[in-house]
A and B are shown apart, each in its own frame.
Chain A
């Protein structure tokens, strides 16, 4: 199985550790992983701002970088959702193939690799932030609004980690307010949403806040740091890869 590692632009630039953990974790699980060197961004920042028509360059590049892999895996629900829903190209067959083969990390581990156990240990109190695009868009876990059986792909993986203590939250799946360019165009509401989300974790004793999307975590980290809080954010791949 050949997997192309898709590292979202801001993860590449600001959170290399999340990408390193993803790569190492996949290799530990016996997957042949390659990182196409010419990748940049999926184009989501433009598309969600209404400028989908400016994403052709990104799309073309994406198709060029990721054609031919059995799967494409990324440590980001949001970017994967964007590719799944909005990647189009002159070569529409290639784009269509990519759309069907791109996976967010925890769903790849759960659905394709069918991971049943992990050799990971993380002896900390952890709050899990359900990122909306992963949860509601990619259906990584059951949503509080729907009447349906409970499940959680990231949650079941975290439960395989030794000595981890997952905390309960008052609002299990409310948006943190990051929302891409929303975080600057609607700065006031975005920050208030982030503060409230962070407070829920802090109130329940979290030492770390984790999730499948580094972007939400980046936003919450910005708020935690401004509050000089000792609570840290960590991408789920880093926990699943922790020893």
Chain B
């Protein structure tokens, strides 16, 4: 689910920045996780080799997607798993609704799955009278708050424990003004236990699907995916087609990378393998494309499909930390989301590749070495060429290009600009100048370097 908004990233970020203390808190919280990540990756001498290996394995997958998918399907079917294919979000949602309808199930428990957020599954099922309860604690909290997750790994990282206390007081019957994590977690535990015990259908995401064996692996820190899947009659797994890895042994690479990059833990608390249904139970896997084939066909952007959704690029991104996940108005926020989203809808997400300083920290933390900041630069070129640039910016850039292409024009404009700053500063230092809002303009020197050089060097 993406936040319903007509505002672009800059406007939403400005809203977020109205409460500076909150921005500081958000920034520090995520920076703390980035530091945890740094500490643990520096304990592994082969960290960079591990990243390179993972990147190469994913490269192989992307280059042979077709055959690995077929291999996975054949093995999954042989294991007694039902396999469904969905071209897009709508098909994915319809398939799941039909499965529940066939079993006359109206209540489902779900573990965290960013793919279902991308597809808007919860809203779709709600419209069709099916109740979905998210069982990941963070996800349950944002669900109660009627908000989308603001981070792919830490969905409610933007919420303070006091706010969570208020939500639990309102919906789960805890006393008011309780912010003790122990008490709140216990309340969530009791609430979710009831859900796990009564739901006949459970949906999980997929972190890795192994072509060689037809099994899939779900990683959680709370064990909620297991509780849902083990207790329900029918386990539905939603999986983006890029989640494949060729062989079981490759899990050793990815499981070591995933949580170290995400939260600074050596491994997720639960890395659960699902291979075949128990007697009398069913496992269904829905393989979803939803634009992925198209991205695979864009040479400049195909590497974005290597993403294992660890969220490290968000934690490290100085823009994300100071604008919050909701400012990206898409299911997958942050740097990686900004290169994935325009593939789905260029017009709607044309602002996102510009929500970056291209500092490159995202590419450096990425465990599968996606060239994120280079792709942001490339998306900007594509989007402008397709016409998704504001008119004022277009005109400004044309003027700038014309001025800078002519030494004479450039010298005249430079002189005029400096003179204006010196003699009529109010023409520049005003509300219309976004630079001036919170920053002073540079002092204008009497002469440019060129003027100095001409006087002192000829």
Contact = CB atoms under 8 A, between A and B. Distances in A.
Interface of A: 7, 9, 11-17, 19-20, 23, 35, 37-41, 43, 45-58, 60-61, 132-133, 136-137, 143-148, 171, 174-175, 177-180, 182-196, 218-219, 221-223, 225-226
B42 A48 contact: no
Given A45-B400, A51-B397, A191 B380 contact: no
Contacts of B274: none
B44 interface: yes
B442 A221 contact: yes
A14 to B, nearest CB: 4
B440 interface: yes
Interface in B1-45: 9-10, 13-14, 16-17, 20, 23-24, 27, 31, 38, 41-42, 44-45
B452 interface: yes
A222 B440 contact: yes
B319 A13 contact: no
A189 B404 contact: no
A177 B410 contact: no
B27 A57 contact: no
Nearest to A49: B397
Contacts of B41: 147
Interface string B390-413: 000100011011111111001000
A174 B439 contact: no
Q: 9 nearest interchain CB pairs?
A: A57-B405, A179-B357, A222-B439, A50-B380, A50-B384, A145-B364, A136-B360, A132-B359, A175-B359
A76 B355 CA distance: 23
B322 interface: yes
A132 B17 contact: no
Contact of B357 (A41, A132, A145, A148): A132
Contacts of B448: 12-13, 16
A34 B31 CA distance: 45
A96 B197 CA distance: 67
A223 B438 contact: yes
Contacts, number: 213
Contacts of B355: 186, 189
A61 to B, nearest CB: 6
Contact of A186 (B13, B358, B383, B407): B13
A12 B434 contact: no
Nearest to B357: A179
Contacts of B410: 9, 40-41
A47 to B, nearest CB: 8
Contacts of B417: 13
B273 interface: no
Contacts of A14: 418, 442-445
Instruction: Pick from B358, B402, B447 the residue with the most CB of A within 10 Å.
Output: B358
A40 B405 contact: yes
Interface in B423-450: 434-435, 437-445, 447-450
A148 B49 CA distance: 11
Interface in B322-368: 322-323, 353-361, 363-365
30 contacts: A7-B450, A14-B418, A14-B442, A35-B453, A37-B407, A37-B453, A40-B410, A41-B404, A48-B377, A51-B389, A53-B385, A54-B397, A54-B401, A132-B358, A132-B361, A133-B360, A136-B363, A145-B316, A146-B48, A179-B357, A182-B354, A184-B434, A186-B319, A187-B437, A187-B438, A191-B439, A192-B20, A221-B442, A222-B439, A226-B439
A12 B443 CA distance: 13
A158 B48 CA distance: 29
Instruction: Pick from A13, A171, A177 the residue with the most CB of B within 10 Å.
Output: A13
Nearest to B50: A147
A225 B438 CA distance: 10
Contact of A178 (B16, B48, B357): B357
A150 to B, nearest CB: 12
A174 B440 contact: no
B85 interface: no
Given A51-B397, A175-B318, 13 more contacts: A9-B410, A13-B414, A16-B445, A20-B452, A35-B457, A46-B397, A57-B404, A133-B358, A182-B356, A188-B14, A189-B355, A193-B319, A193-B322
A179 B358 contact: yes
A132 B360 CA distance: 7
B270 interface: no
B94 interface: no
Contacts of B44: 147
A15 B442 contact: yes
Contacts of A190: 357
A189 B319 contact: yes
B381 interface: yes
B38 to A, nearest CB: 7
Contacts of A177: 318-319, 357
A192 B47 contact: no
A12 B452 CA distance: 10
